[in-house]
């Protein structure tokens, strides 16, 4: 794969009320649908703006989405936008491996509700999570290492055939994308995106750690030539901007 778009699904009512949803199949709300439209516009604009030197018609898009409704519906909206605005076919295949983390006992609770139901357990979990982020699960849920395990085949697929050594530095991003022939377009969840970024060896800077609903990240191979290492070329913030425009924040 020559480039990757990772984007988070639009807002749900669980997101709006800061309620853990994990693998609950929660639908997009009106704000989420508006965010998905904006996500589709951004992905389309990036494709037209960064992948144009030798003709966008030669670009092959590989679409993948979590099979949970909020990600699938976001993917459908993005795919429709890409087809309409670029003429490129953009179809998404369901991949259960892209589902959000299984939050176990946290699922369907807000932080305050969980603390009331299970006094003292949440701080204990957070402390353990910070100490050993690759092995401590949510109470009754998935460990981070298990999320990484189910994502590994997809990461290996994206890394296959990547010639990072062909790029001399991260300053060549635009030149690289214009030569791109295969591009992944991925609709998934905030927690999963953070795990994927670690697996792709391109964690976000601290100031960009929050990934909002509908946010888009464009990744390209890193100029170091290190196998499996990627670079965040662009991070477009959608969630708060759309919510503010609709007068909800």
| pLDDT tens-place string over residues 127-185 | 655 566 555 666 677 888 889 999 999 999 999 877 655 666 666 777 888 888 899 99
Among the residue ranges 61-65, 109-113, 152-156, the one predicted with the least confidence is 109-113
> Are 37 and 218 in contact, with CB atoms under 8 Å apart?
no
pLDDT at residue 175, rounded to an integer = 80
> Are 74 and 39 in contact, with CB atoms under 8 Å apart?
yes
pLDDT at 189 over 50: yes
**What share of the chain has pLDDT > 70, as a percent?**
84
Q: Catalytic residue numbers?
A: 9, 100
Q: What angle do CA 108, 97, 14 make, to 5 degrees?
A: 20
What's the start-to-end Cα distance of the chain, in Å? 38
Query: Of all residues in the chain, what percent are helix, strand and coil, respectively (each to 5)?
Result: 50, 15, 35
Cβ neighbour number for residue 235 with a 10 Å cutoff? 15
Buried b (16+ CB within 10 A) or exposed e, 77-100: bbbebbbeebebebebeebebbbb
Q: Taking residues 210-219, what's their average pLDDT?
A: 94
Upper half-sphere CA count for residue 122 (Cβ side, 13 Å): 16
Q: Taking residues 121-128, what's their average pLDDT?
A: 70
The CA distances from residue 46 to 9, 83, 107, 208, 230, in Å, are: 18, 13, 35, 19, 18
Q: Taking residues 31-58, what's their average pLDDT?
A: 87
| pLDDT tens-place string over residues 194-209 | 999 999 999 887 767 8
Between 14 and 51, whose confidence is greater? Answer: 14
Q: Taking residues 40-68, what's their average pLDDT?
A: 86
Between 167 and 82, whose confidence is greater? Answer: 82
Backbone torsions φ then ψ of 234, nearest 5 degrees: -140, 145
Dihedral over Cα of 170, 192, 6, 210: its sign: negative
pLDDT at residue 17, rounded to an integer = 94
């Amino acid at each position: 794969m020559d480039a990757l778009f990772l984007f988070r699904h639009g807002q749900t009512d669980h997101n709006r009320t800061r309620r853990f949803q994990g693998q609950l199949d929660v639908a997009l709300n009106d704000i989420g649908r508006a965010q998905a439209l904006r996500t589709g516009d951004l992905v389309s604009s990036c494709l037209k703006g960064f992948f144009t030197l030798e003709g966008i018609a030669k670009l092959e898009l590989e679409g993948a989405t979590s099979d949970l409704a909020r990600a699938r519906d976001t993917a459908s909206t993005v795919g429709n936008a890409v087809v309409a605005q670029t003429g490129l076919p953009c179809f998404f295949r369901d991949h259960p491996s892209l589902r959000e983390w299984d939050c176990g006992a946290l699922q369907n609770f807000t932080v305050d509700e969980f603390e009331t139901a299970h006094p003292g357990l949440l701080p204990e979990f957070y402390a353990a999570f910070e100490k050993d982020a690759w092995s401590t699960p949510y109470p009754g849920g998935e460990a981070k290492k298990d999320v990484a395990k189910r994502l590994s085949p997809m990461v290996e697929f994206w890394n296959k055939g990547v010639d990072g050594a062909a790029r001399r530095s991260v300053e060549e991003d635009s030149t690289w994308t214009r030569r791109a022939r295969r591009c992944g377009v991925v609709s998934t969840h905030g927690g999963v995106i953070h795990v994927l970024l670690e697996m792709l060896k391109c964690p976000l800077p601290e100031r960009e750690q929050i990934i909002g609903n509908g946010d888009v990240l464009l990744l390209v191979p890193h100029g170091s030539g290190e196998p499996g290492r990627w670079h965040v070329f662009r991070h477009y913030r959608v969630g708060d901007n759309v919510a503010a425009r609709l007068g909800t924040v």
